[in-house]
Chain A
């Protein structure tokens, strides 16, 4: 009896920790979905944006010796400038091109951001410390990592505010309009350029928040961009155009891989966490190619 109780608590602990990590996957996937919905661009640079944002935050903190909140505001402003430049110098010039060409362009942006980030902020691993709590806390018998808890709650708060923004404001409505039909959106005076700059900025800010959380956990280093690739199985699961899909997909992948690591890992020799997400997504893809909530892929005008 005691044993079973213990087993159950342990299971919940693993599950919870997986879900909290999952919120971070959701966050990165959300950045992808926003851009894909509004402009049909598969943004390979999402991971690079996350790293660049985290690097900039640490850089501003160190260079100016300011409180992290000020560095945060500066970084947000920087990400808006990056979004503006991407629209102005890259995507704005490629309107009406094939999806694959736009995708290649975002690979270019990835390398540029990686290189540019290192040039201005240096290439060594940086510790990101904005005073997030460490250690774990006891939630009714389940031990939860405090950092994971904060990360999970922050991600949830961000997702909720984005949902309100997109559903209740003029800009949000314009964004959904652009996602549905470019020509009709233009006919009511919505400027595609402005909307694109806004989604890239929002994706930049989402990347910043994800970067802060991952960076606090793992240090700000190049491998963060690889973590962003975890968003791929999340997208396969949730569908490339669905915001709820990104959120739920992230949770499933996060929880799934932690549980697999603990319960299946020992039988197959461990390290399952690295590939489980992809396997799960592949299996899912065979059954439901459009993802959990995916819609038909939009046509770019």
Chain B
């Protein structure tokens, strides 16, 4: 396995003709698209279009029956979630998947999992060294907490937080991994206007300051057209449009299937 460094503007991830079915349900059929390093890439489409399934294929939760995914120059038909994480792919979930019993701080610390080197024996036997490492990573996590403006809830068990804040903590956990590719599944769903604006700002800042490539799913058209460099449109598992926001907005097929569809 050899992954290559990708320069800004070059293709970071390419999906080629992938198809994914669950029994009789065809979640994705023969879709190809790519994500360039450094861009904000949106995936839109009506409910059940296959958007989440696409992210699940990219980070290894689902294994498409057909097609390939090329990431950092390495072609594969399937990869394990562990390997995806190790290669710099981090994500958030549509239905907030946090560790409910743990504090904000601990949740975000889990994002450092792969950055922390001490294994089971050193953490048991050589407690001092593991502790030192723990503190170093803690510092990084505190920076993320500052960045996301969630200092006030550092020690709160996340199960008790309102939805909007949970989404923010989940973003923090993904950022803690210092990802190269960040997958966001409806990061603004269920938020009020102010929360949405905050989230937009965080996404743009992450993209700007760290050069993190972002692929996001979002239903709010205003937001999508505003912050994305390119937009892909899925409908019934197939791709019906792809391009810069202006192109997509003018695409008749997209207007019929999606924008006109009561959204």
Check: A93 CB closer than 8 A to any chain B CB.
no
A180, B81: Cα distance in complex, Å: 17
Contacts of B66 in A (CB 8 A): none
Contact partner, A189, options B86, B120, B123, B124, Cβ 8 Å: B86
Say yes or no: B81 contacts A168, CB within 8 Å. Answer: no
Q: Contact string, B176-217, partner A, CB cutoff 8 A, digits 1/0?
A: 010000000000000000000000000000000000000000
CB-CB contacts below 8 Å: A158-208 with B:
165, 168-171, 173-174, 176-177, 179-181, 183-191, 198
Contact partner, A170, options B97, B118, B174, Cβ 8 Å: B118
Chain A proximity of B175: nearest CB distance (Å): 11
Check: B78 CB closer than 8 A to any chain A CB.
no
Say yes or no: B130 contacts A169, CB within 8 Å. Answer: yes
Q: In the complex, how many residues of chain A place their beta carbon closer than 8 angstroms to a beta carbon of chain B?
A: 23
Instruction: Write the chain B residue with the least CB distance to A174.
Output: B113
Instruction: Write the chain B residue with the least CB distance to A184.
Output: B97
Chain B proximity of A175: nearest CB distance (Å): 11
CB-CB contacts below 8 Å: B51-81 with A:
59, 61, 81
Check: B255 CB closer than 8 A to any chain A CB.
no
Contact partner, B93, options A165, A179, A183, Cβ 8 Å: A183
Say yes or no: B99 contacts A176, CB within 8 Å. Answer: yes
A184, B110: Cα distance in complex, Å: 10
Contacts of A189 in B (CB 8 A): 81-82, 85-86, 113-114, 177
Chain B proximity of A137: nearest CB distance (Å): 33
A181, B100: Cα distance in complex, Å: 8
Say yes or no: A186 contacts B82, CB within 8 Å. Answer: yes
Given A180-B101, A181-B97, A184-B99, are A170 and B130 also a contact pair (CB < 8 Å)? yes
Chain A proximity of B48: nearest CB distance (Å): 20
Instruction: Write the chain B residue with the least CB distance to A186.
Output: B81
A9, B116: Cα distance in complex, Å: 53
Say yes or no: B134 contacts A177, CB within 8 Å. Answer: no
A168, B120: Cα distance in complex, Å: 12
Given A169-B130, A170-B130, are A188 and B113 also a contact pair (CB < 8 Å)? yes
Say yes or no: A169 contacts B177, CB within 8 Å. Answer: no
CB-CB contacts below 8 Å: B89-122 with A:
90-91, 93, 97-102, 106, 109-114, 116, 118, 120
Say yes or no: A188 contacts B173, CB within 8 Å. Answer: yes
A176, B101: Cα distance in complex, Å: 8
Instruction: Write the chain B residue with the least CB distance to A241.
Output: B101
Chain B proximity of A195: nearest CB distance (Å): 10
Say yes or no: A173 contacts B106, CB within 8 Å. Answer: yes
Contacts of B86 in A (CB 8 A): 189
Given A170-B116, A188-B85, are A176 and B102 also a contact pair (CB < 8 Å)? yes
Say yes or no: B177 contacts A188, CB within 8 Å. Answer: yes
A189, B178: Cα distance in complex, Å: 13
Instruction: Write the chain A residue with the least CB distance to B91.
Output: A187
Chain B proximity of A73: nearest CB distance (Å): 13
Instruction: Write the chain A residue with the least CB distance to B111.
Output: A188
Contacts of A174 in B (CB 8 A): 110, 113
A145, B190: Cα distance in complex, Å: 61
Given A181-B99, A189-B85, are A170 and B113 also a contact pair (CB < 8 Å)? yes
Contacts of B120 in A (CB 8 A): 171, 198
Chain A proximity of B177: nearest CB distance (Å): 6
Say yes or no: A187 contacts B113, CB within 8 Å. Answer: no
Which of B81, B100, B109, B174: most chain A Cβ within 10 A?
A: B81
Instruction: Write the chain B residue with the least CB distance to A189.
Output: B85
A71, B130: Cα distance in complex, Å: 28
Chain B proximity of A164: nearest CB distance (Å): 9
Say yes or no: B97 contacts A183, CB within 8 Å. Answer: yes
Contacts of B116 in A (CB 8 A): 170
Say yes or no: A190 contacts B110, CB within 8 Å. Answer: yes
A183, B101: Cα distance in complex, Å: 16
Contacts of B97 in A (CB 8 A): 181, 183-184, 187
Given A174-B110, A185-B110, A188-B113, are A165 and B124 also a contact pair (CB < 8 Å)? yes
Say yes or no: A191 contacts B99, CB within 8 Å. Answer: no
Contact partner, B123, options A170, A179, A184, A190, Cβ 8 Å: A170
A181, B96: Cα distance in complex, Å: 11
Say yes or no: A186 contacts B110, CB within 8 Å. Answer: no
Contacts of A295 in B (CB 8 A): 101
Contacts of A165 in B (CB 8 A): 123-124
Say yes or no: B106 contacts A187, CB within 8 Å. Answer: no
Listed by A's residue number, 22 A-B pairs whose Cβ atoms lie within 8 Å are A165-B124, A169-B124, A169-B130, A170-B118, A173-B106, A173-B110, A174-B113, A176-B99, A176-B101, A180-B99, A180-B100, A180-B101, A183-B93, A184-B99, A186-B61, A186-B81, A187-B85, A188-B110, A188-B113, A188-B177, A190-B110, A295-B101
**Given A180-B102, A183-B61, A187-B85, 5 additional A-B pairs, CB 8 A:** A170-B112, A173-B106, A186-B85, A188-B90, A188-B113
